[in-house]
Amino acid sequence: MTGAGESGAGVIRTRALTKRYGSVTAVRSVDLEVRAGDRYGLLGPNGSGKTTLVRMLLGLVYATSGEIEVLGRRMPRHAREVLPQVGALIEEPAAYPHLSGRTNLALLDAAGPGGLSARRTRKRRVDEALEQVGLGGVGRRPVKAYSLGMRQRLGLAGALIRRPKLLVLDEPGNGLDPHGIRDLRELLIGLNEAGVTVFLSSHLMAEVEQLCTRVGVLDAGRLVLQDDLAALRAPTGRVMVDTPDADRAVALLDGQVERRDGDQLLVRPVVGDGAAGDAAGLNARLVEAGLRVSAIGPHQRTLEEIVLSVTGTGSDHVGESS
């Protein structure tokens, strides 16, 4: 389900976006497509170009070539109109350590675009943002007393203070413990359902799998995959079977077993078993033959399997020049 009304409209779009640092190509010819209402997760191992891409979207790094549109306007040319509508969190958020979280947020808001005119509603927006990220009770403490997770939450509050249409977050889960990750996920889903498009980078597949509706995968600077998670995780037409009688099942299903891992079999059903992916039909056949079945169900690939199938192995790929 998409949260925003104008579902399908382009919120972030890049064409052949490329960034070179000397002989290193950090981002190569990326066509990104983030639609209104998406919760988009940009995955990639360390050094795959995520931060460089995010920074280019916000006009913080200049592209070597290619085009960027954010909220329908070319970037960085229209940064002054676009950025006030975007909440951003990149790297570890900067803050004055001796000042409180509240004061830091108020200063950030005042220094932002249109900061003076935003003054009237500032106190209410600061309170609301602190409350949203779970810092309501500690907003008056100096930031130097904050844990890493609290600082990350404060950074997120800074991204939310202007009630943006679009959130751009670089590794927002960094420094958060499992509770913090869960709170972050609930917060982002809630905001998304209220109409905010969310774009985030992460190297954690599980985080993206639980939070996002759309996924992009960077590998050595290239976008090697971009699709809706539901489409990627659609049933494959195969059936997963767990059986303590795996040897007999393999013999019975002669040629239909595509993969075996101990007691677990990946089976391609044939017409006699019912439709493709029909676990019930296959189950009936196994049980009829006197085999015990401990678990059976339609097969879906995990995000990890999908990502590994389109990327090289290991991490820290360095984009060599081409």
Give the binding site for ligand ATP (CB under 6 A): 21, 24, 26, 44, 46-52, 203, 318-319
Closest approach of Cβ 80 to ligand ATP, in Å? 24
For ligand ATP, give the closer residue by CB, 50 or 299.
Answer: 50
Closest approach of Cβ 90 to ligand ATP, in Å? 10
The two structure tokens encoding residue 212: 């996002």
For ligand ATP, give the closer residue by CB, 254 or 316.
Answer: 316
Which residues make beta-bridge pairs with 260? Answer: 265
For ligand ATP, give the closer residue by CB, 30 or 188.
Answer: 30
For ligand ATP, give the closer residue by CB, 103 or 174.
Answer: 174
Closest approach of Cβ 170 to ligand ATP, in Å? 7
For ligand ATP, give the closer residue by CB, 51 or 100.
Answer: 51
